[in-house]
Each structure stands twice: as structure tokens, then as C-alpha cells.
Amino acid sequence: MNIKCIKVGYLEANCYIIEKNNNVLIVDPGDEENKIIDSIGNLNVSAILITHYHFDHIGCLQALKDKYNTKVIDYNNTDEDINIDGFNFKVIATKGHTSDSVSFYFKNEKIIFTGDFLFKEGIGRTDFENSNYEDMINSIKLIKTYPDDIVIYPGHGESSTSLHEKQNNIFYNIN
């Protein structure tokens, strides 16, 4: 599996193109649809994954959904194990930044896409109308039970690992 990160929009959201056997998943197409389309090339788009519905993560969702005639996987699929075109992952509710926040966990590849729920050495904001700090802490408690060698791909900034976050993210140590 190949993962390509494209920084899109003025907030430089991370849009990920996950490729496997000439199929791709698009994670959080926030803006700059032509940049995303160019990155995909002639590959088959299997689905679009949305971690949450803030504008910087869905800015060109409708255009890409229409172009590729594909399905959207989001909070409506929470707790589902998805198997599509060779991609196997679980949709995990990780509320806190928003009430519709989810993470996409690829167990076999030991990777997780967290959107704005979890960043390298930080967490997403919880001061929005549909945010909740207590939900955020409960989501962190859940994710920190996952293996230490998982690579975390956040909605902004650099990737990390579960172990690095356990050692360096102050929010991981809140009981």
C-alpha cells in the first residue's frame, strides 16, 4: 500500500491518496480538486473517506464524488469493518473535535487516519459548537489502547506513531 499526502487549501489540510493494486481511497479532499485528480491519474477511485465535515476537509468532496461516481465512507459507517477493492479497515468513532469525527484504522498495515482528532503531540480544538472535550478524552483513551507501532496520519501536520504520542502528547496522560 502506498500513501501520498497532498497539502490542500490555505489551512494546508492533509488529503491522503491511499493506493493499492491500481485502486485508491481519497481521505479528506479539502480543496484543490485538480491537484488531487492529477495525483490520482488513471487509477480507480474505490471510495472517499471523510474524517469529519469541516470545510477544510470536504471542500471538493462533491466534485470528486461526482467525477468518480463513488461512495463516501464517514460517521454513518461507525464501527463497521469495511472491505472494498482490497482495502480492509475499520471506522472508529473518535468524537471530540466534532460530533461526527471518525478515524480509519487499517489493522494489517498498522496505520490510522485521524483527521483533526489527533495530531503529532496535540489534539484538535474542542471549542467549536459541536465539539466536546470530554468526548475527546474518551476517544484518546480508546485510541491509546491500540498497538504502539501504529502510524498516525493526522488532518494537518506531520505523521507520528502511537508510541511517540504516548511519550510526548500530554493529552495521552489524562485519566
> Half-sphere exposure of 2 toward its Cβ, with a 13 Å CA cutoff?
10
Query: How do the domains of the chain map onto residue ranges?
Result: 2-173
Note the pLDDT of residue 174: 76
Question: What's the whole-model pTM score?
Answer: 0.96
CA-atom Rg of the chain in angstroms: 15
In angstroms, what CA-CA distances link 22 with 9, 30, 88, 149?
A: 26, 23, 15, 27
Rounded to the nearest 10°, the torsion over CA 140, 114, 112, 7 is -150
* Element (DSSP H or E) covering residue 154: strand 151-154
Note the pLDDT of residue 172: 84
Low-confidence ranges of the chain (pLDDT < 70): 175
Give the tens place of pLDDT for each residue, 72-111: 999 999 999 999 999 999 999 999 999 999 999 999 999 9
Note the pLDDT of residue 175: 67
Kindly report the number of other CB atoms within 10 A of residue 125's CB atom.
14
Distance CA 5, CA 22 (A): 17
Note the pLDDT of residue 134: 95
For 2-173, CATH number?
A: 3.60.15.10
